[in-house]
């Protein structure tokens, strides 16, 4: 029998933690719940969990600090819970690098589905050794097969987002949340238009490859194992 994966929930609101624990247990996970960042970190240091669900707004140290400390010592998968859209950039940013996030209010089933997806990905064999993209965040430049791309601000942000996480499907709303400062109502078409431009620019470099995949009705991802 396969060992149950143990999910550490760091969340100060008992109502949220209760419903998460209930759903995760019915879906075959083992859970442990703590209400403060420091208690969570001590469990992580003792290697007593396989996965972390981390609330950003905690009573002792904030979730950003907890995430930073986790990342300084391990690649333990982390899913963040956030109540504020403006936190999302930092959560997923290179500096902190959570594996995913969900915005409050959320359904515990969505959290469970995302945990499973992250665990599937982290068990998959490493394929990005030959990733054709080199991203320089400071210069805001992307090389594609060694060739510099001329990208607008949004094109750069969208391509960085996809290329940093090959195989991840980002829906349009998520792309909008992460890339645009002021999302507007026409986001579906706006995102689509930028993806179209990006594809044209990538095609100029390599007409034989389309590295961006469209997932109908869901969103976009960068192909894995390019």
Which residues bind to Ca ion, rule: CB under 5 A? Answer: 12, 55, 57
Nearer to Ca ion, 10 or 70 (CB): 10
Cβ 16 to Ca ion shortest distance, Å: 8
Nearer to Ca ion, 57 or 167 (CB): 57
For residue 189, give both structure tokens. 């078409």
How far is residue 149's CA from residue 137's CA, in Å, rounded to a whole number? Answer: 13
Nearest to 9 by CA among 97, 103, 85, 115: 115
Cα distances (angstroms) measured from residue 56 to each of 88, 99, 212: 10, 14, 31
Residue whose CB is nearest to Ca ion in the complex, by number: 57
Cβ 72 to Ca ion shortest distance, Å: 23
How far is residue 1's CA from residue 28's CA, in Å, rounded to a whole number? Answer: 12
Cβ 3 to Ca ion shortest distance, Å: 30
Cβ 88 to Ca ion shortest distance, Å: 16
Nearer to Ca ion, 12 or 65 (CB): 12
Nearer to Ca ion, 11 or 100 (CB): 11
3-state secondary structure of 182: coil
How far is residue 48's CA from residue 33's CA, in Å, rounded to a whole number? Answer: 12
């Amino acid at each position: 029998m396969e060992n149950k994966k143990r999910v550490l929930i760091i969340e100060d609101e008992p109502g949220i933690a209760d419903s998460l624990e209930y759903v995760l247990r019915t879906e075959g996970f083992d859970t442990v719940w703590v209400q403060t960042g420091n208690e969570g970190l001590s469990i992580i240091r003792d290697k007593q969990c396989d996965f972390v669900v981390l609330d950003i707004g905690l009573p002792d140290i904030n979730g950003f600090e907890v995430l930073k400390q986790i990342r300084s010592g391990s690649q333990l998968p982390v899913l963040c819970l956030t109540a504020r859209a403006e936190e999302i950039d930092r959560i997923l940013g290179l500096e902190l690098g959570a594996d995913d996030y969900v915005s409050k209010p959320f359904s515990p089933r969505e959290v469970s589905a995302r945990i499973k997806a992250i665990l599937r990905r982290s068990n998959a064999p490493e394929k990005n050794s030959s990733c054709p993209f080199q991203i320089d965040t400071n210069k805001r430049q992307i090389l594609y097969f060694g060739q510099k791309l001329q990208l607008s601000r949004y094109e750069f942000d969208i391509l960085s987002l996809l290329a940093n996480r090959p195989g991840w499907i980002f829906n349009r709303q998520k792309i909008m949340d992460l890339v645009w400062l002021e999302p507007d109502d026409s986001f579906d078409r706006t995102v689509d238009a930028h993806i179209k431009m990006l594809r044209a620019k990538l095609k100029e470099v390599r007409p034989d490859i389309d590295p961006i995949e469209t997932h109908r009705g869901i969103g976009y991802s960068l192909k894995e194992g390019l």
